[in-house]
Structure 1
Amino acid sequence: MDDVSLGLMLDLVGTFVFGLSGATLAVRRDFDIFGILVLAIAAALAGGVIRDVFLGATPPAAFSDTRYIAAAALAAGAAFVGYRVIERLAKPVMLLDALGLGLFAVSGCRKALEAGLDPLPAVILGVVTAVGGGALRDMLVAEPPRVLREEVYALAALIGAVIVVAGDMMALPPGWAAAIGVVMTAGFRIVSVWRGWNAPRAPGSGKPR
């Protein structure tokens, strides 16, 4: 599989998964079909749009390639029809979010490297790509974005992006580096929620004045 095909596959799968997380949350909040579609599209496309704008790739792929919107709409339809099946999973939104986080951290970092960015900016853009959709999804349902809350979130995306950069430096096959990055990001995110890991806080923070 060449770099272009791998990047497109990661993007489209990530779009569908993040769209499914947004749509599932919308159904849980009793949104109508239009609200479900809006939240699915927002969650699915925001991270990739931010990435492409930062890279100067305009119009963003989400608007120039109809497969992206189709993937988000398909996710909305799947949640609308199959919500009862999805809800049988333990913490379905978190699980889908963790997988989408991994896919977009890897795809964002890869696209940045292919555009000629140095490793550190590529890692940063990978993290931004990963957290953008989830942040917008949470804000649209009046929740504090997960990236700003106590659960480890951006750190998980950082792990996936660093793995992609390390794989590039060691000339590993891109598919292997991508797979490892996705698995490590999603796994770390899931374990962090299961174990209750928190990012460090400033001494004395959270205390009433």
Structure 2
Amino acid sequence: MQNVNLYQRERRQQGGPRPRQLLLGACVLALALASHAAWQGWNLKQRASDRQLAEAQAVSAEAQLAAFKANYREPTLDTRLPAQLAEREAENRQLQRLATHLRALDGQLRSGFAPVLTALADRHPPRGLWLTRIRLQAGGSDMLLRGLSQDQELLPLYLESLGRSKTLQGREFGSFDLQRDDSGLLAFRLASRAAEEGDDE
């Protein structure tokens, strides 16, 4: 018969970290805390530097603003400006009128004297009045007409007929002379400007 010993001494298992692992973990934690503290310190230092820079910029801006306010002068309206503006506007209107007149003269010079002569021929009465002299200058804008009329009533009708012509319409005459000559005819002189010495030469 064999004896079986059923009683065995139970061994207790050792658990938990070993001292070496605890030391290593403590070193890692201390290193992490030191790194975090260094980063926080650098961050705080950087923020303090930024704040000092911002404060310096604010002080400089306030100094510039104070200097600008000290040198600022409220603008005042020059009393001469309205008169100068009115003078310039008058000059501009005069230049516009001159430009319009020059364009009209240019158009007349380009077209020549033919339209004016054609209008004079078309409006000439069949009898009792005739032209003895026609002078056209400045593209036809300066015109002188000299002639004779047998009847004093023909001349107003002739002038009215000239005024209805499209070419001569709106033309202004600055001089009109009417005299009876030795033969009993009415001698007339019609000019676009007042008579001057040497006009009929």
Radius of gyration: which is bigger? Answer: 2
The two structures have a TM-score, normalised by structure 1, of 0.18
Per residue, is there more helix in 1 or in 2? 1
- Greater strand content: 2
TM-score norm. by structure 2 comes to 0.18
